[in-house]
Structure 1
C-alpha cells in the first residue's frame, strides 16, 4: 500500500509528532510511506507570515494545491493527516477528494470543536462549544490568551461546521478512545465516520520475567508529567502533605512545569516527597517498573496518556481520576483504581484502599501487563491501522 502522511509540525514537538513517526516506522517495513511535513518554525518566521494566518487558517488554497501535487507525485493510495493546523487548513481534504484518494485523520485533540483543542479553559473543563458556537470563546481568549487568535480558530471551526466538511470531505476520523468519539458525536460530527484506534508504546520489557518484575515492586508511588494545574499535581501534593505518618510511602515526582517552585516550597519539609525533575526515558521506565502504582491525577480530558500505557507495559497499576479518556483506559478494580478529579478526600480514600489490598496488587499488575499486550503494542496498533486503511482503499 502507498501511504501519504500529512502533518503540520509545531515549534515545540509533542505527542502528535511522536505518534506520526512511530506509525511511519511501523508502516514502512511493509509499505511505501511518504510524508508531507510543513513546519511552523520555518513557515512562521516573519510577522507578515503570521498575519497571513488570519485569512488562511480556515481555508488555504495553496495548501490544497500542494497536497494535490504531492498525491500525484507519490501515487498515494490513501492520505493520513495527523495535524492540519494552522498552516495547511482543512482545504487539504478537498485535494485528496479531487484526486480520488481516501483521507483519514487522527483526532489527537479537540481542535475541530474547541479553539484551544482541549475542551478546557482557566484550568477547568469547558464544554460550551459542544452544543454552542466556538465564537462564544472569543472574548475570553481561550487560545493563547488572545481574542484575535481565538477568533481565527473559532472561525475555522464554524466555517467547516457550516460546510459539513467532516461529514462530506473526510472518509474517516480516528479517535483515540470511545470517550473522545462520544464527545465529537455530541458536537455533531457523524459517528459513522469515526473509528477508534489508540496510540501505542514500544515494549521496553519484552522478554523479561513478568513474575520477577512484579516481585521487584518497591514501596513508592509515582507521578510523571507536566507540573501544572490541569494535571492535578496540586491535589496530589496537598494529599501527601497531610499523609505524613511514619509508615506512609514515598512519592516520586518526575517532570517540570510552572507550579514546580511553588509546590516544592510547600512540601519542602515533607521527606516523603522527592522531586526528580526531568529524567531520561530509560531511567523513567526503570523507576516506573518498580513503582507500586502510577498516580494520574489529571483534572481535564486527556487524549491518550502515554504514561498510562507505559505503566501498563511495566506491569504497574494506575490510580487515576475517573474522567475523560483516562477514566476509560484505567479499569477500576482491575488495572488500577479511580478517584474523583480534584477531590483530595477521594484520593486519600483510594490510596488507603489500595494500601489495604496487599496481595491483590499482583493481580492488578498482571492485568495491567495483559491490557498492554492486548491493546497497546506496536504489532496490535499496526494491524488496527492497516484494517482502517483497507476499509477505504480500493483493490487491497
Structure 2
C-alpha cells in the first residue's frame, strides 16, 4: 500500500463524539499515518459550516470535517442536502483515493456510498459494520419496541409491529434502499462473528464479510497478574448510562445480596448521560444509588486514555447490557489491563468473554443470575485467579491495521 491513497470516512470525530466506531476509525487513521501511508480522515460534523463550506480542517490538512446532515432518519437519506455532493465529488477527484474505508453512513446519509462509486468507479470501497442500524429502525438495538424483548431477525411485518405508524411496505422499501447503497461496497468488515451472522441473515453475502476486530492501543506491559482481593472485591462499570446498558440490573443484583455479602463489594461507575435519559429511569438509578451508598460510587464521564489507570484498582469489569452488543471496547480494555469480565450471555459479549475462562456469563437482564455470579466471587476465591490466567492480550491497533491493509 506504500504508493496507494486511503480515505477513511466516519460519522463523527472522536474529539467531539466519544463513540466506539468513531474511535476505531480515527485510531486506524493514526496507525496508517504512523506507518507513513498516504491517508486522509473525513468525519461528519454537527458544527456549523465555516463560511458555508462543506469541509473544514480539524487538526491538520489531511483531517477534515464534513459539514452535512441526515434529513431522513428512517431511510438515512441526505437527499435535501445534495447541493453539497458536488463538493464531495470535488474532494474525491482531487485526492483520488485507491481505497475508501467507511466506518458508518449514519448522519452523513447513505447516498454518500453511491456518490463515491459514481465519482470513482474503480475505487475499492470497504465498509466496517459497527452495529445493526441498517437492520433495525430502533436505533439498531434489535430489541422489541414495546416489550424490550430481544429480536433475532428483522422482517417488514415484525418491524411494523414495533412502529405501527410505518407500514410493512415502508420497511420493505427501507431495506431495499439501504441494500441498494450497500451493493456498491466491495467488501465488509465485522468486528465480531456474531454481527457477521446477523448481516448474513439479513441478506449480505457471507463471503463478502470479513471478521477483523477493532484494535486497541498498547500500554506498558503489565502482564496478567491477579490483584489481591483482601476484604473488598472491586467491580467496575464503564460506558453510557442508559436503559440498554444494564446498569439497573447490576444495581438491583447488589441490592438483593445480604447486607454482609454486599459489604464485600465496591462498585465504581464510570459513565455519563444519565441526565438525558427518561425521568423514570433516572429516578430508579438515583434511588438505588442512595440505597447503595458506601458500596457504589458514581464518577461520571471519563476519557478513553484514562481507562488503564481506572482499571488499576478493579478486580472485575461488569458489562450487563440487555441488547446484543457487537464488540464492546470495554471488554478489550479490561483484558488489556488483565481484568476479567462479567458479561451478559448474548451477542458480541458472549463471544469475547469465555465463561469461566476469562470471565463469567450471566443470563441477560436477570437480576438473580447476576446476583449468583457475584456470590461466586465471594465463595469461590480461586475463580478470580483462574479467569485472570485465562486472559489473552486483545488485538492491537497495529495488528488490526495489518489485517485491514491485507484486505485492501
Q: Determine if the TM-score, normalized by the shorter chain, exceeds 0.5.
A: yes
User: Hey, what does 1:384 align to over in structure 2?
Assistant: 403
Judging changes above 3 Å, is the alpha-carbon distance between structure 1 residues 25 and 388 closer, same or farther for their aligned structure 2 residues?
same
- Answer yes or no: is 1:365 the counterpart of 2:394: no
How large is the Cα RMSD of the aligned pairs? Answer: 3.3
- Answer yes or no: is 1:273 the counterpart of 2:279: no
- Answer yes or no: is 1:318 the counterpart of 2:341: yes
Give distance in 2, aligned partners of 1:338 and 1:36: 38
Give distance in 1, aligned partners of 2:236 and 2:142: 27
Match of 1:16 among 15, 18, 21: 21
Judging changes above 3 Å, is the alpha-carbon distance between structure 1 residues 325 and 358 closer, same or farther for their aligned structure 2 residues?
same
Give distance in 2, aligned partners of 1:343 and 1:330: 18
User: Hey, what does 2:62 align to over in structure 1?
Assistant: none
Match of 1:246 among 245, 260, 267: 260
Give distance in 1, aligned partners of 2:303 and 2:108: 32
User: Hey, what does 1:173 align to over in structure 2?
Assistant: 188
Q: CA deviation digits over 1:12-50, x for unaligned, max 9? A: 55222211211110111221102333323336x9xxx97
Match of 2:175 among 154, 157, 160: 157
Aligned pairs (5 A) from 1:235-314: 235-247=249-261, 248-256=264-272, 257=274, 258=277, 259-270=281-292, 271-281=294-304, 284-314=307-337
State which drifts further: 61-70 or 92-101: 61-70
Give distance in 2, aligned partners of 1:55 and 1:329: 31
Give distance in 2, aligned partners of 1:54 and 1:302: 21
Match of 1:114 among 104, 115, 136: 136
User: Hey, what does 1:392 align to over in structure 2?
Assistant: none
Give distance in 2, aligned partners of 1:303 and 1:332: 17
User: Hey, what does 1:144 align to over in structure 2?
Assistant: none
- Answer yes or no: is 1:183 the counterpart of 2:198: yes
Give distance in 2, aligned partners of 1:209 and 1:111: 37
State which drifts further: 66-75 or 173-182: 66-75
Q: CA deviation digits over 1:181-214, x for unaligned, max 9? A: 111111111111101111122223x233544x64
SS of alignment partner, residue 221 of structure 1:
strand
Aligned pairs (5 A) from 1:22-37: 22-30=27-35, 31-37=37-43
Give distance in 2, aligned partners of 1:267 and 1:349: 21
User: Hey, what does 1:219 align to over in structure 2?
Assistant: 233
Give distance in 1, aligned partners of 2:70 and 2:44: 17
Q: Identify unmatched segments of 5+ residues in structure 2.
A: 53-67
* Residue 225 of structure 1, CA deviation: 2.0
| Paired residue total | 370
What TM-score do you get using the length of structure 2 for normalisation?
0.79
Give distance in 2, aligned partners of 1:37 and 1:344: 40
Which has the larger helix fraction?
1
Q: Identify unmatched segments of 5+ residues in structure 1.
A: 142-146, 390-396
- Answer yes or no: is 1:197 the counterpart of 2:219: no
